[in-house]
A and B are shown apart, each in its own frame.
Chain A
Amino acid sequence: MKLRLRLALTAVAVTVPAVFALVQVEHSVRRRTTDEVIIASTLSQMQSGGRERCESAPETWMVRSRSPQRPPWEREGPPDGNGGPPSGTVAPNEPSGNGPASGGPRPGDEGPPRPGARGPLGRRLPPVSLYPFDGQFVSRNPQAPALDDELRKGVQDDGVGVRRYSKADGALVQDLLLRMSWDGGPCEYVLARRVEPAESPEVGLPPLYVWGVPTLILLSAMVVALGPVVQRLRRLTDEVRASSGSRYEQPVTVNGTDEIAELARAFQQARAEIQAQMAHQQAREQTLRDFLANTTHDVMTPLTVLQGHLAAMQQRMRAGEPLESGLMLSAMSEAHYMASLVHNLGAAARLEAGAPQVQHAPVDLNALVSRVLGRHQPIARPQRIALESGVPATQTWVMGDETLLEQAVSNVVLNGIRYGREDGHVAVVLETTRQQTFHLRVIDDGPGISEEERSRILERRFRGNSARTREPQGQGLGLNIVHNVVELHGWKMTLAPSEYGGLEVAFTGPLMSPPG
């Protein structure tokens, strides 16, 4: 539903009951005022000679005031007394205004009517008829209507019995039974009856101008006030649409201090957040693409070499020539390298995904060294590279991610083998100190790495870089992973020339007590 329509409907829904309640209040005030006027005028009439006339002929006494042109309380002068033969019209005085009149006469009632005193809404008062009743609520006048219990009870309790009811034709009948200030006699009680015809304004709604005008004013004020709000909202909607259409590059420009401006600011914040997320996502995707491209390249190269070797072997077999061991060895080496690349791929993916992917658990470094050596022995031996290891007699426990640690040590060992010289050596030495630290060294007697290259490897924070080569001095994905893993474990890694002329890669970190 549109905002304007909703607000208009809400206004109507609130106004209608409010008008209804106001009309009810107005009706009740008017009735009470009418009661008071009738009571006061009746009492004053009875005291100014009415009693004598009534008591002298109770069988026929009855007063019917003619419908006055104006309500009696609007007249300036005394009422014109042209009633029935025994008396004139009801000559009401100004109402006392002190709540329901008591039975007795009051001095104030005798005073002259105050100018400007008006009945409710200044309307005419319909005719009032008076009937006498004695102490037994019996009237000697046969024309008097019967009294019901409500009136009797009312007059006994409060001095005035009041009853209202509607006739079948819609006319409103108002009965007031009053006790006079004297006791006994046929006119001890007087019933004042007033009949309001159905078409009287008192019965229906008040006139349209009473409630229609304020309602109209309220509605138009609402529509006027709402105009700019709706306009601002529309502008904001358009700008948000345009922004989302431009991949959130277009800003939202709705300003101000109201709630709509606040909404615009909230959207601006959301937009900034979305843009940051998108940039992050794009960076990640780019990294992944680069990584995939590099890895594909890295795997494709040894795979091509391997295919070449296998094809050469097949040719030799067809020609009946003996297989060359160097060819075979090279093929094996390429397959081995590919396996290590794929393992590195997994490790790099986990490192890239961040710390939650890293599982810390007790790791036995002795077993780890043994596994790493076992994996590379089959490729080191045929290349005539001696692969040796020395570990403590008892297990060496550290806290870490077994897969990543194994991959890191594996990478260093494989580098030593791949770039080692023939009849060379690679050794893994694991030692513990009394300060509860371990010292794991991988040493070789290969060509080593220059001072400049070593410091670059240690200083630089590698991320999937494209400067990877298979050369000994290259900073392949292998060392990149080693560096990250060591950093992730809070260990220390040093690169130094080994005492045998090659490279020494050393890891140092804390030991843990053996797991229970």
Chain B
Amino acid sequence: MGDRILLVEDDDQLGSQIVGHLRGAGFDPVWWREGRLLVSGDLPDVSLVVLDLMLPGTYGLDMLKALRTFSEVPVLILSARNDTLDKVRALRLGADDYMTKPFWPEELVERVRARLRRPTLQKEQAVVEVGPLRIDLQGHTVQVQGRPVELTRVEFELLAALARRPQEAVTRQWLVEHVLDPEREGTERTLDVHVSRLRRKLGPVKCVETVWGVGYRLVPGEDA
């Protein structure tokens, strides 16, 4: 079982749907059908809270306020209300995300995953491993399946820029501005040339993915 997630939702159908989907996505959901004003120690050991706002017992935002006095656990707000004031208030009270009904279960699972993933991404790592790729950001070395690969300075900087945000698309404009030498030919065309050279050097592993309309992204890749 994956992370434990606390769901606070009073609607039976929606609650059981969410529980089912979270369980299907590999999480371990705990379901409360009403709001409680929590004090330190009441909260079960969970990695994330999914909190509905309109609750019997106590209002969701009051619950969040009480929760934030003793815990930094990520909180995802669910609400039928799409009001800006509510959103701003919730975010000020320490909510991490806000979803308005109706939503697709897939979206909820994605948001939960993204929220749980974030803290590990924030710290700068010296070595990034993505699939068969191992990039030493400080030693400026790259290995594919344990085999070292020789890269030019621009090629390495390009790979490092993608490696700092694995799985995320980096725009071509950003790469041109931050990786290429602006004194020399710093255009997107040049960038594409560098990317194709880099891909060739990394061999059959398709790690550098083109993102349509956006730019490039580093993915675990598959062997061709």
**Chain A: residues with CB nearer than 8 A to chain B?**
335-336, 339, 343, 346, 358-359, 361, 367, 370-371, 374-375, 377-379, 386, 388-390, 392-393, 401-404, 425-427, 429, 431, 443, 445, 498, 500
Contacts and interface: CB of A to CB of B under 8 A. Distances in A.
Given A359-B85, A393-B165, A403-B83, A375 B104 contact: yes
Contact of A388 (B87, B106, B111, B214): B214
A498 B103 CA distance: 30
Nearest to B92: A361
Contacts of A390: 168-171, 174, 211, 214-215
B83 A370 contact: no
Nearest to B164: A393
Contacts, number: 79
A213 B182 CA distance: 112
Contacts of B105: 378
Contacts of A431: 171, 173-174
A359 B84 contact: yes
Place the interface of chain B in its size category: 20 to 34
Nearest to A379: B104
B84 A392 contact: no
A402 B99 CA distance: 13
Contact of B82 (A361, A392, A403): A403
Contacts of B213: 388, 425-427, 429, 443, 498, 500
Contacts of A339: 102
Interface of A (DSSP majority class): mixed
A378 B88 contact: no
A389 B99 CA distance: 19
Contacts of B104: 336, 375, 377-379
B165 A388 contact: no
Interface in B47-105: 82-85, 87-88, 97-100, 102-105
Contacts of A367: 97
Given A367-B97, A425-B213, 16 more contacts: A346-B82, A374-B107, A374-B110, A378-B105, A388-B169, A388-B211, A388-B214, A390-B168, A390-B171, A393-B165, A402-B84, A403-B82, A404-B84, A431-B174, A445-B212, A500-B212
Interface in B107-136: 107, 110-111, 114
Contacts of B107: 374-375, 377-378
A118 B103 CA distance: 113
A260 to B, nearest CB: 52
What are the 10 A-B residue pairs with the smallest beta carbon separation, nearest first? A427-B213, A378-B104, A390-B214, A390-B169, A390-B171, A359-B84, A425-B212, A378-B106, A403-B84, A361-B88
Contact of B87 (A336, A379, A402, A426): A402
Given A359-B88, A361-B88, A429-B171, A375 B103 contact: yes
A429 B214 contact: yes
10 contacts: A343-B100, A361-B88, A374-B110, A386-B212, A388-B212, A389-B169, A390-B168, A425-B213, A429-B171, A443-B213
